[in-house]
Amino acid sequence: MIASSSLTQGATVGRMIKITLYSFFVLALQAHLIPRLPYQALRVDLLLPLMFAIALEWPPLVGVLWAGFWGFVVDNFSGGFWGLHVGSYMVTVCLVNMASDRFDWCSPAYQMGLVGLCALGQSIALGLFLSFVPMDVPELTSIWIGLGIRTLLSVTIAPFLIYPILNPRNTI
């Protein structure tokens, strides 16, 4: 019984380390790869799909705290619109927890759907923030189109980012 318990504990710690390292890897990718992309529309938020996986892996409270921490890190390094990432990541974790009983989250379609919903919310918030500065209609339109494309890209890449954590083979 004790051996089984320690084994489970060891596996949990191992998974926590794995998730931490993976989160950091994604953050590093976000830091060094995304800003280099030539078009703003391509600059997706890689950590948002990750929060989806975190919500399924960890208990709600831990997941929310984790999301808040990484949101703060991203907010800190972007330096504009404080609270955007903290809020969106925490909302993502909460949404997944609230709907976890009703959906089969191993299905990429559901993953993409919920990540898309959260990315859309994030993009709308970002768009409203950027719209505070007076600008012409074409510029505003291009910003919103860019945000739309960004949302679609987030949806597309979501399963690829979630897979390393929510790999069914690992969970079995």
Contact residues: another protein, CB under 8 A: 24, 27-28, 30-37, 40, 43, 45, 61, 64, 68, 72-83, 85-87, 90, 126, 130, 133, 135, 139
Residues present in the chain in total: 172
Q: Nearest Cα to 54, choosing from 13, 14, 92, 6?
A: 92
DSSP 39: S
Least distance (Å) from another protein to the CB of residue 159?
21
Report the distance separating Cα 146 and Cα 130, nearest Å.
Answer: 12
Give me the phi and psi of 65, to 5 degrees please: -65, -45
Structure tokens at 105: 């989250």
Judged by CB, which is closer to another protein: 115, or 126? 126
Least distance (Å) from another protein to the CB of residue 64?
7
Structure tokens at 15: 């998974």
Judged by CB, which is closer to another protein: 31, or 98? 31
Least distance (Å) from another protein to the CB of residue 63?
13
Judged by CB, which is closer to another protein: 49, or 87? 87
Helix (H, G, I), strand (E, B) or coil at 106: coil
Judged by CB, which is closer to another protein: 50, or 166? 50
Least distance (Å) from another protein to the CB of residue 66?
13
Q: Which residue type is seen at 104?
A: D
